[in-house]
A = this chain, B = another copy of it.
Amino acid sequence: MNSLDPTKPRMRTLAPVDVTTIQERVYQSLRLGLLKGEFLPGEQVTIRGLADVLGTSPMPVREAVARLIAERAIEQSGPRTLRVAPYLATEHENYIRIRMQLEGYAAERAARAPRNPALIGELRRHNDAMSEAVEAGDFEAALAGNQAFHFELYGAAGYPQLLDIISTLWLRTGPIVASARRDQALFERLFRIGVRIHGDAIDAVAQRDGAAARWAVNLDIRSSHLAIRKFYKTSVEAPAR
């Protein structure tokens, strides 16, 4: 019997394989693309087109898109047309008010939640990363840092369901925020303000001051909203509904 003896126990090097469905991977990919600003608000998409880009058949894309339609991140603009949710001033303003309610509440709960020793450090780390990215002019990284900061904070509230709803709202407003970064000067200013407000939020959490945490997050949301509104007012006109 040599070393190839099949009855002899030996080390296996096979690793478990990714068993997630194609549909799920398509969904996650589209979701990430929306949050990273790879789609413009109002941009038309087609199921077959996405399937080609993603290297799969239309079938999994259809169902991933159906989920995104349910989350209002993609909408049917006509009988046979799909598009990324467009920027509409009043609609976006409504979402901002809803976000202030929910994210403000999440921040308040996070500040009042049982102390997690690592939380403050993590928040600072995300905010520092965002700050450095802004100064380096890397707006994609700044966007990612901003997102990481917010979700670290909201996650500390200990409400998976709340986090889930907030994620959906970010998915709707993501392409709008991300595409607005094309105005570099405006967004540099915006992100610098954001970094400072995040600092206030961190202080509020450190002092377990729920009201102050809520206030800081609401200020952050509102100030970013104002910048985005200015961007869209002065540059792009929203596509017709």
Tell me, in angstroms, the Cα distance from A62 to B159 when the chains sit together.
29
Verify A159–B94 contact, CB threshold 8 A: yes
Asked if A140 lies at the interface with its beta carbon under 8 angstroms from chain B, I say no
Identify which of A36-44, A65-73, A118-126, A177-185 touches chain B: A65-73
> Which residues of A from 35 to 93 have beta carbons under 8 Å from B?
62-63, 66-72, 91
Q: Which residues of B contact A133 (CB under 8 A)?
A: none
* A residues at B contact (CB < 8 Å): 62-63, 66-72, 91, 94-95, 97-98, 101-102, 105, 159-162, 164-165
* 6 A-B pairs with the lowest CB-CB distances in the bound complex, closest first: A67-B70, A70-B70, A66-B66, A63-B66, A94-B161, A101-B105
Q: List 27 A-B contacts (CB under 8 A).
A: A62-B63, A63-B63, A63-B66, A66-B66, A66-B67, A66-B70, A67-B67, A67-B70, A68-B70, A70-B70, A70-B71, A72-B164, A91-B161, A94-B161, A94-B162, A95-B161, A97-B159, A97-B162, A98-B102, A98-B159, A98-B162, A98-B165, A101-B101, A101-B102, A101-B105, A102-B102, A165-B165
